[in-house]
Structure 1
Amino acid sequence: MFKRIQNTSLIFFICCLLCAFYINFNLSPEWVENQHQYQTYKTADGRLVYKAADQQISIESIVDYQTSPIRQAVLDSQQDKPLILEQWVYLGSEGEVVLLKADFHFGIWSLLPAFVAIALCLLTREPLVSLLGGIIIGAVMLGRFDITHQVFIPNIGTSNAASILILYLWLLGGLMGMWAKTGAAQAFADYMTLHYVKGPRSAKLVTWLLGIIFFQGGTMSTVLVGTTVKPIADKAGVSHEELSYVVDSTASPVASIIAFNAWPAYVQAFLFIPGVAFLATEQDRIAFFFSSLPFSFYAIFAILGTLLLSLNITIFSGKPLQKAVLRAQSTGQLDAPNAMPISAKELHHNQVPEGYQAHMLEFILPLLSLILVAIGSFFVMGSPQIHWAFSSALGLSIFIAVFKGMTLKQVIDGFGNGLKGVVVASVILMFALTIGVLSKQLGGGIYLVATLGEQIPFWCLPVILQLMTMLIAFSTGTSWGTYAIAFPLGLPLAWSIAQTQGLANPEIFMMVCFATILNGSVYGDQCSPISDTTILSSMTTGCDLMDHVKSQIIPATFAAILAAILWTSTVWIFA
């Protein structure tokens, strides 16, 4: 069976590789005009500037839209790559200033790298090989045949990639290694089991509550909750599929509705629409974000789904999770028979030196340090400084261990075991980042928006935006990257439909459409095997990646269907 799957996967990859070569040498990309609105203003010395990524950037020159060589009329009449790819222009009679960009896509072929990666994940259950296959396909499509120098080095040599390596390889791995070396995690698990956790249900409820409390979202929540509850849940006999589902589905969904985090500040930058009064300023857009939260039906249902599972109510969980619950109860096996967890086993076993007395405070104090630094830096600086938070936790853990008598050699040994435990997952994250960049460069998101967003009745738009963002996030593995694609394209479309079809309550319609983009992206990110949060949920809970994906996608899809019904009903009745 294994050999047959291996042969099928190889034939599939070779066929896709031949398609990639054909696309590169024979298909011309379709160039598309994209308009990006920014809030521009003049400085005291008269310069016109705009803000992006918290930086003030000058606008050097502006031309009339009708003279721009990258407007759609010109792009349609030429086959070659435009001489320039972006330009500031005056748009319309009111002279709105927008940034015009020339992007391209290869039609449905733009989705090929992501499709290959996901298909190979399902076939082989090997995320590392699958992602590499998708990267090779994308590189060939773009004509970047020297993959090392033209793909990996440019993408890995970025501040974003360096941030991932430092956080997840050094800081997270080091912290988990120290907790294993000092026995702190096991001491905490023993204490919680003795006083609070009496079985699988209470262990899952603790996990669910921590997911609510750690509402910073995304990677931080999955890492923090996963590493905290793993020893408790293992001791209580909770299957790893259940644990990873609860951790993953209380991360981004919670962050999107308890939004005292970096999400509103990031998202509001994509919400500006000229002429829309309630989206005019940054404060207006943040207020609009919070006003739309009651319509985040998917996030609400996702959180309720994890609560029901935590209470051992599995009727809405789907067969994979039900089987995992039954297996753990009847056999005590926390993983499926053929599972291949992506974290090293040594992270989940103590290597406490002889004579060293572990104490639960060695787990709690670094954890408190992590939380306080993250939340404190959010209120002081406007966004949580995750690297500072994990650095403080790791530093405190090392200091306590040395203070209690652990030798420097033993500390380094624990730190090294921690790095070894997450190195594979860190490489997977780097590959996921790379294939996400390639998918964006190939215009997969632009193609989906252009295909799904044409001539539709208003009551269909919320579900179409939901499906569009689910596909983009699933195929790219990022919700925040999907926001950057979908909000600037989807919300202006929603406003245009609200105006042309004469809706009585256009602001409510816009709130619902906003919520569908926000929530659809979260669903796609959660369910994608190439998403960082999916990978980290599996890594920190010790779950096989594809077991997590296949068990989570059923309750997540059920929540998405219920949300779609409510969104459609809301705009039909109230808009």
Structure 2
Amino acid sequence: MNKIINKGMLSGLVFLMAIIVGLYINAWVPKQWVEQIYHYDVSKNEHGQLSYVFKGETQIIEHVTDYANSVLNQTHLDQLGDVDPAIKSQWVRLNNGDIAQLKPAFHFGFWSLMPAIVTISLCLLTREPLSALFSGIITGAFSLGLFDITDGVIIPYLANQSSVGLLILYLWLLGGLLGVWSKTGAAQAFADFMTHHCVKGPRSAKVITWLLGVLFFQGGTMSTVLVGTTVKPFADKAKVSHEEMSYIVDSTASPIAAVLAFNAWPAYVQALIFVPGVAFLATESQRIEFFFSSIPFSFYGVLAVLGTLLLSLNITRFSGERIRQAQQRAAKTGKLDADGATPLSAKELHTTDVPKGYLPNAMEFLCPLLVLVTIAVGTFIVLGTPEVNWAFSAALLLSIAVALGKGMALVDVIDGLGNGLKGVVLASVILMLAVVVGTLSKELGGGLYLVNLLGDSIAYWLLPLLLLLLSMVIAFSTGTSWGTYAIAFPLAMPLAWSIGHIHELQNIELYMMICFATVLNGSIYGDQCSPISDTTILSAMTTGCDLMDHVKSQIVPATWAMAAAASMWTASVIIFT
């Protein structure tokens, strides 16, 4: 009891400090403005106008100013203090003749990291992510002078297509699908089928999970949800601990996507790595080729996937004490969660409530799942991006249609949908609050501050390690790898090019590939290990694991893999460049 009281008092103290820190930043810490240069493939159209392509649409550049005369260059920004620039962006002609876009950005120095520090500290302290995330939101909002948390922060920050899409997918579609499967007994029937034909014990259940993680190599939230949803029924039946399952699901999502990169990643990343004057990064096709050429240096991605394979084969030397204890607990007691755990997947999804007279069939699980995967992969091949909402909508409608066609009453189907929504509502709220914290951290300039700590006078062999550390911290504090790419790559790649020339490296392209790989993989690691990451939350939710149990158990094997990868990057730089 005293331990609970002390933890509550300490949490309350941290929350109070969060409010004080936010108010202090807003009142006393000045903004530090930094120019941001964005390079595009600018060309002249048939009318002689300067134009560029953004998100598939051609944009006309109306006016270009010399860099020296721009009100957004660093010299002018240094004179602003706390006053905001008069304009948001400006097209300029650089000294080398290139056309680029200038935008102002700011940070508060170390104080920009406070929302992430408060959130992560409270997550580790209380194991209660809701209050931790809300404390982080309070800190970030007060720092920006936003005191109306509901109408001024949460609603506006979630009122965008990306956030609404997450809510629809993970609350309505995923929750509804899981609820229908629970009501029809489809998930349990599939578990029985797999147990009888394929899964003979915990090891085979984990190996199948690993194989599915590799096969669904689209990465990110889609892979996490697909694999976690598919394997949970038979993994629970095989008595595999939830800590093991959430680790396997999470570590075969983004890591495999960086290695088997036939997905949306290269198209997104290539737009961030253009460096003026670098011939092998001049065009989009060359940048995509550069991405694929750097894949052999994605050491962390390879080692992370191999680490989950070792765990699947019950080789736990590098898995850490927590995962070993979880494995032994499940084997000896049958308990899939630790004592005191609070699984994100609610009890409504752990049990079946099949109406009397309804006969479950494994095909009620397999057919919607095949439709889901087919649409997701097919739309990626045809359209260039996986339409995950279409896929889950079709799977949900098919599951409902089959249930009604087999004679289930509509009221029972609706009851299943309701239970499914209740089962994922907590995780969905956590996910939404995590999005807000990540957005606030980015707006406060935490990543920008970390990047600006680097200079151009460091040793060439040390730069990959510094970029690695930088991307890890940014991704861990913001909970997003793709957001980290947008912050780090436009600054890391020119820096690598500059350092390579200063030190007159013989193979500067290879050097830049290694630096590129450290940012790519460091962002994945930080995202994986962050308790405010969507993939971390969804890995815990779909496998039924306690969020902080997943975070604490995964960070050890992930760190082993990253330490080995860091050594390999350093050796590669010294030997090959």
Structure 2 length as normaliser, TM-score?
0.98
Cα distance in 1 for residues equivalent to 2:436 and 2:575:
43
Give the structure 1 partner of residue 133 of structure 2: 131
Give the structure 2 partner of residue 222 of structure 1: 224
Cα distance in 2 for residues equivalent to 1:241 and 1:407:
37
Give the structure 2 partner of residue 395 of structure 1: 397
**Counterpart amino acid of 2:49?**
R
Q: Does 1:452 align with 2:454?
A: yes
Larger CA deviation: 201-210 vs 32-41: 32-41
Q: Is the 8 A contact 1:452 1:468 kept in 2?
A: no
Q: Does 1:91 align with 2:75?
A: no
1:449 Cα deviation (Å)?
0.4
Cα distance in 1 for residues equivalent to 2:569 and 2:79:
40
Unaligned 5+ residue runs, structure 1?
A: none
Residue of structure 2 aligned with 1:180, choices 161, 165, 182:
182
Alignment of 1:114-129 (within 5 A): 114-129=116-131
Cα distance in 2 for residues equivalent to 1:7 and 1:58:
58
Cα distance in 2 for residues equivalent to 1:430 and 1:453:
36
Give the structure 2 partner of residue 382 of structure 1: 384
Give the structure 2 partner of residue 55 of structure 1: 57
**Counterpart amino acid of 1:29?**
K
1:416 Cα deviation (Å)?
1.1
Q: Does 1:343 align with 2:352?
A: no
1:41 Cα deviation (Å)?
2.4
Residue of structure 1 aligned with 2:539, choices 537, 540, 543:
537
**Counterpart amino acid of 1:82?**
P
1:69 Cα deviation (Å)?
0.9
1:395 Cα deviation (Å)?
1.2
Q: Does 1:72 align with 2:74?
A: yes
Give the structure 1 partner of residue 108 of structure 2: 106
Residue of structure 2 aligned with 1:442, choices 427, 441, 444:
444
Cα distance in 2 for residues equivalent to 1:55 and 1:431:
32
| Deviation per residue, 1:151-191 (Å, 9 max, x gap) | 11211111111101111111111111111111111111101
Q: Is the 8 A contact 1:85 1:103 kept in 2?
A: no
Q: Is the 8 A contact 2:457 2:499 kept in 1?
A: no
Alignment of 1:311-326 (within 5 A): 311-326=313-328
Cα distance in 2 for residues equivalent to 1:429 and 1:139:
18
**Counterpart amino acid of 1:90?**
R
Give the structure 2 partner of residue 371 of structure 1: 373
Q: Is the 8 A contact 2:22 2:138 kept in 1?
A: no
**Counterpart amino acid of 1:62?**
V
Cα distance in 2 for residues equivalent to 1:267 and 1:453:
23
| Deviation per residue, 1:10-64 (Å, 9 max, x gap) | 1122123212211111121111111111122233333322223333322222111
Q: Does 1:170 align with 2:158?
A: no
Cα distance in 2 for residues equivalent to 1:255 and 1:78:
43
Cα distance in 2 for residues equivalent to 1:257 and 1:52:
27
Residues 533 and 65 (structure 1), Cα distance of their counterparts in 2 relative to 1, 3 Å cut: same
**Counterpart amino acid of 1:87?**
Q
Give the structure 2 partner of residue 34 of structure 1: 36
Divergent runs of 4+, >6 A = none
How many residue pairs match? The answer is 574
1:405 Cα deviation (Å)?
1.0
Unaligned 5+ residue runs, structure 2?
A: none
Superposed CA RMSD = 1.0
Residue of structure 1 aligned with 2:48, choices 46, 49, 53:
46
1:225 Cα deviation (Å)?
0.5
Structure 1 length as normaliser, TM-score?
0.98
Cα distance in 1 for residues equivalent to 2:539 and 2:261:
21
Q: Does 1:307 align with 2:334?
A: no
> Secondary structure at the residue paired with 1:36?
strand
Cα distance in 2 for residues equivalent to 1:222 and 1:390:
14
Cα distance in 2 for residues equivalent to 1:198 and 1:514:
42
Residue of structure 2 aligned with 1:264, choices 260, 263, 266:
266
Give the structure 2 partner of residue 294 of structure 1: 296
Give the structure 2 partner of residue 10 of structure 1: 12
Cα distance in 2 for residues equivalent to 1:439 and 1:3:
31
Alignment of 1:233-252 (within 5 A): 233-252=235-254
| Deviation per residue, 1:364-390 (Å, 9 max, x gap) | 111111111111111111111111111
> Secondary structure at the residue paired with 1:102?
strand
| Deviation per residue, 1:125-160 (Å, 9 max, x gap) | 111111111001000000001111221121111111
Cα distance in 2 for residues equivalent to 1:164 and 1:55:
25
1:77 Cα deviation (Å)?
2.6
Cα distance in 2 for residues equivalent to 1:330 and 1:56:
63
1:454 Cα deviation (Å)?
4.4
Cα distance in 2 for residues equivalent to 1:477 and 1:554:
18
**Counterpart amino acid of 1:5?**
K
Identity %: 61
Q: Is the 8 A contact 2:113 2:441 kept in 1?
A: yes
Q: Does 1:412 align with 2:414?
A: yes
**Counterpart amino acid of 1:486?**
A
Cα distance in 2 for residues equivalent to 1:35 and 1:355:
66
| Deviation per residue, 1:421-470 (Å, 9 max, x gap) | 11111111111111111111100000000113442111001111110000
Residue of structure 2 aligned with 1:153, choices 138, 152, 155:
155
1:78 Cα deviation (Å)?
3.0
**Counterpart amino acid of 2:232?**
K
Q: Is the 8 A contact 1:453 1:464 kept in 2?
A: no
Q: Is the 8 A contact 2:456 2:495 kept in 1?
A: no
